[in-house]
Amino acid sequence: MYLVTVLGNLLIILAVSSDSNLHTPMYFFLSNLSLVDICFTSTTIPKMLGNIQTQSKVITYAGCITQMYFYTFFAVLDNFILTVMAYDRFVAICHPLHYTVIMNPQLCRLLVLVSSSMIVSLFYGTSLGVYLSSAATQNSHSSATASVIYTVVTPMLNPFIYSLRNNDIKRALERLFGR
């Protein structure tokens, strides 16, 4: 599942960057979402796979904090990119004649940059989350199941949901691979 996630999202990034027809705001945001999904799954899955292989559940405190920071950072970034994508579609539907003026390349880059900058608030949000989660008692099996679904399944399905059903992406991939 991890390989499908990484390869599927890499294909989207390759298709968007190699085809000039896809150099639009919608595909710009989609390729950024794909990059964030790769980073998001890569924060935890390699360690999990190593733990499964070695039958060890050990992680250092520094490793745990680092992993939690990047996990939270990319999860929040994923949500912001999805919000920006929704705004892009809103502008395209509600203001189609002004779309290219509103969603200019500078604004698109700014939206992605602003999405990846919520460091101070992310720091305090992570701290609050750690504090609150340690105070609450949880069922570890259901938490692990929810974590796997959120961490692995959703980023794996994003390439299929957002792009492989899209004819423009299909054509770009066919051109990329010479069909």
Q: With H, G, I as helix, E, B as strand and everything else as coil, classify residue 19.
A: coil
Quote the number of domains for the chain.
1
**What residue has token string 């999805």?**
82
> What is the domain range of residue 87?
2-176
CATH number at residue 92: 1.20.1070.10
Distance, in Å, from the CA atom of 56 to the CA atom of 73, rounded to the nearest integer, reads 26
Distance, in Å, from the CA atom of 154 to the CA atom of 169, rounded to the nearest integer, reads 20
Per-residue pLDDT of the chain (179 residues; tens, 9 = 90+): 889 889 989 999 999 999 898 899 999 999 999 999 999 999 988 888 888 888 888 888 888 888 988 988 898 888 889 889 999 999 999 999 999 899 988 988 888 877 765 644 554 455 455 555 555 555 565 556 666 666 777 778 777 777 767 888 888 888 888 86
